[in-house]
Every structure is written in structure tokens, then in C-alpha cells.
Amino acid sequence: MTPTHTESAPQASGHAADLDRRVRELADSDIAQVGSVLRTQLADHAAVLTGVHPDLRPVSAVLARAGNRGKRLRASFCLWGARGATRGELPPGATQIAAAVELFHLAALIHDDIMDHSDQRRGLSTMHRHFADEHRHNSRIGDADAYGEAVAVLAGDLCLTWSDDILAEGTADLDRITRRQVRRIFSVMRDEAIAGQFLDVDGQTHAVTSATRAELVLRFKSAKYTISHPLRLGAAVAGAPADLLSAYDAIGIAAGEAFQLRDDLLGVIGDPAVTGKPTVDDIREGKRTLLIAWAEENADRIQRRVLDQHLGNPEVTHDGVREVCEVLRDTGAVQRVENRIAELAAQSTELIDASPVDEVTRHALAGLVARCVWRAA
């Protein structure tokens, strides 16, 4: 007898629940392993630092705390990229590669917060702000802010070097061709992320926002480095063929751009109590995002004056932030970004459905993309 729709629905629902459970079990195990690698790495280096002098303890402690926080999105994409290439088990070195991506990300955040003059990250004081406040609390001599920024630069540099250490460990036992491929992708990831960061900083020196330039920042500062490169690193460590690397790149660019567009929205109209970051930061720094570019395209004379007055103003008030947000909504820029996010999310979902990976990986990647795109923090 052919099953009716009502008879087959519980089976489909049960299958989805089984997939959810399997994905959750693997994800929890994978991220726990990444956390273990990071804790060991940070503890080993802390021993070296504090062995030089006890005054290094505060730096080591803050880095350890920062290393234990975060969404682990990049590590997750890396590990599922590897599982998709093997259709099952994690290949040797994958956990270390994922941990290396996370440490590189931590370095990028620390340095990005200095450049953006951000006071908070993930609900805590940023690295440079933490050490500036410590300087003041202990009544030290000299410029507290300069001290905090100097310590944060050094802390970020440490994370950069440590990420390379873990990468070397993860690739040590791979064959020469695979090791070269992994290191090449990692190197390109670093170059492109820093290039995107430069374009972001440089864009703040121009009076008019170029949509083309904003899209370049979107792609290279965030999209490829958040999803595309981690996926490809996971695939590469498993020795995946070129067609899977290409599929992952396409998925990563679409999903990654949607991720950053969501980040741009949250940066100005999000709830700071949820995001852990004040909405004033992006406006104060004059971030030239696609959201801003599209607002400028449709702004009338009065709305343009509001944007000119407040974007990039280090003394911008909360009322000024509110006025900018009104312009972003009234010009249709917010809705245009939401529409673009929906388009990119649908595109990435179609690409995942068509990708040459197993069902569990496909289900996991779809869930990760949804988590990136439809988030509140």
C-alpha cells in the first residue's frame, strides 16, 4: 500500500530528528576537542610568558579567558568541511587546523577592536580597554590608553604566531602535497582578511561610500575568512578533490556575505544587551558598509546631512545614532539589506543541497548557515 502524506510525515520528522541528534553529537565532540587544543596551547605559552616574568600573568589570563569564548563558527565550518570530504570521520590534523583558525580570528578581533576604538566585545571589555583600565586602577604613570593599545597589539601578535604553531602541528604528519595545499589556503586566508581590513579602514577616509568597495570589504574581510576558507581548509586536510573545494568556496561566499550583512545590521540597529557590543561603534568609526552605501544612494538632502554629520564623528551622541538609524530605515537601506540576506541565504542553501557531501554534513552545514544568517548577536 502506498503511504499517504499523513503516514509518511512522522517518518520524515523522525528522520530529521535523527539527523539533528547526530549533528549535535558530532558538533559537541568536535568543538570540545578544539577547546582542548586551545586550552593546552594557551597554557603552554602562558608558562613560557610567566617564566620570563610574573608581570605577564595578567596578559596570559586575559588571553586564556578570551580563547575560551566565542561562537566557534569558523572551527565548526572547518571541521564539517573535513567531515564532508571524508563522508564520516575527522581526518588527522583537522582539529588542530580548526583551532589555528580560531586563534587567528582572536588575533584579528583584538587588532580590529584597537582600530575601531571599541570598548566592548562579547559583553566584556576589549583587550586594549581592559589593560587601559588596569593601568588607571593601579595609578601607573604614563598614558593609560597608549599602554592598553600597546599590550593589545602584543597580545594579538602572540595569537597570530600561536595560530601558525598549531597549524604546523596539524600539518606535520600530512603528505607533502596535502600539507602544501593546507598551508597555501591558510596563507591566502590571512592575506585576504588583512587586505579586507585595510580596505575597511581606508574606506573611512573617503566622504562617499562606494558600494563596489563595500562589497570587496564584505567578501574579503569577512565572507571568505568566516566560511569559505575554513570549509576549504577542512576539505584540504582531508585531501579533497578540486570540485569539492570549489563547491565549498561558492557556499562560503554566499553564506559569508549574508553573515557579514547581518553583522552590519546588528552593528547599528541591534540590541547591545544581546550583541555584547555598543551600537555607537560602527557609526562613530564611520564604517563604510553596504548598508551605508545604499542609504546614501537614496538619501535626500536632509537625510544626507544627518549621515554627513554623524558618520565618523568620534563625539556622536545616542541621539545622533538614533537619527542615523532612522535614515537607514527611511531610505529603505535596512530592508534592502534584509532582502539581500534572504537571497544569499537561499542561494547558499541551494548550493549546500547540490554539494557532493553526505546527508549528515549537508544537514549540519544548512544549520550552521541558518545560525550565521538569522541571528540576533
For every residue of 189-255, DSSP letters joined together read HHHHHHHHHHHHHHHTTSSS--HHHHHHHIIIIIIIIIIIHHHHHHHHHTT--HHHHHHHHHHHHHH
pLDDT tens-digit series, residues 124-153: 889 999 999 999 999 999 999 999 999 999
User: Rounded to the nearest 5 degrees, what angle is found at the Cα of 243, between the Cα atoms of 238 and 245?
Assistant: 50
pLDDT-derived band of residue 81, with 50, 70 and 90 as boundaries?
A: very high
Maximal CA-CA distance, the chain: 85
What DSSP string describes 83-140? Answer: HHHHTSSPPTTHHHHHHHHHHHHHHHHHHHHHHHT-SEETTEE-HHHHHHHHHHHTT-
CB 331 within 8 A of CB 303: yes
Q: Where are the domains of the chain?
A: 22-373
Whole-model pTM?
0.92
Mean pLDDT, the chain, whole residue set: 92
pLDDT at 16: 86
pLDDT (average), residues 48-53: 97
pLDDT tens-digit series, residues 296-324: 999 999 999 999 999 989 899 989 999 99
pLDDT tens-digit series, residues 157-206: 999 999 999 999 999 999 999 999 999 999 999 999 999 999 988 888 88
Q: Which of 243, 194, 44 is nearest to 186 (CA)?
A: 194
pLDDT at 288: 87
The number of helix segments (H) and strand segments (E) in the chain equals 17, 2
CB 219 within 8 A of CB 187: no
CATH number for the domain running over 22-373: 1.10.600.10
pLDDT-derived band of residue 5, with 50, 70 and 90 as boundaries?
A: very low
Q: Residue 289: what residue type?
A: T
Contacts of 149 (CB under 8 A, 6+ apart): 114, 128, 132
Q: If you compute the radius of gyration of the chain from its CA atoms, what whole number of angstroms results?
A: 22
Instruction: Name which residue leads in pLDDT, 326 or 279.
Output: 326
For 286: left if phi > 0, alpha if psi spans -120 to 50, otherwise beta; the answer is left
SS3 content of the chain, % helix, strand, coil (to 5): 80, 0, 20
Residue 346 to residues 75, 230, 339, 352, Cα–Cα distance (Å): 23, 21, 11, 10
CB 265 within 8 A of CB 291: yes
pLDDT tens-digit series, residues 236-260: 999 999 999 999 999 999 999 999 9
Q: How far apart are CA 262 and CA 279, in angstroms?
A: 14
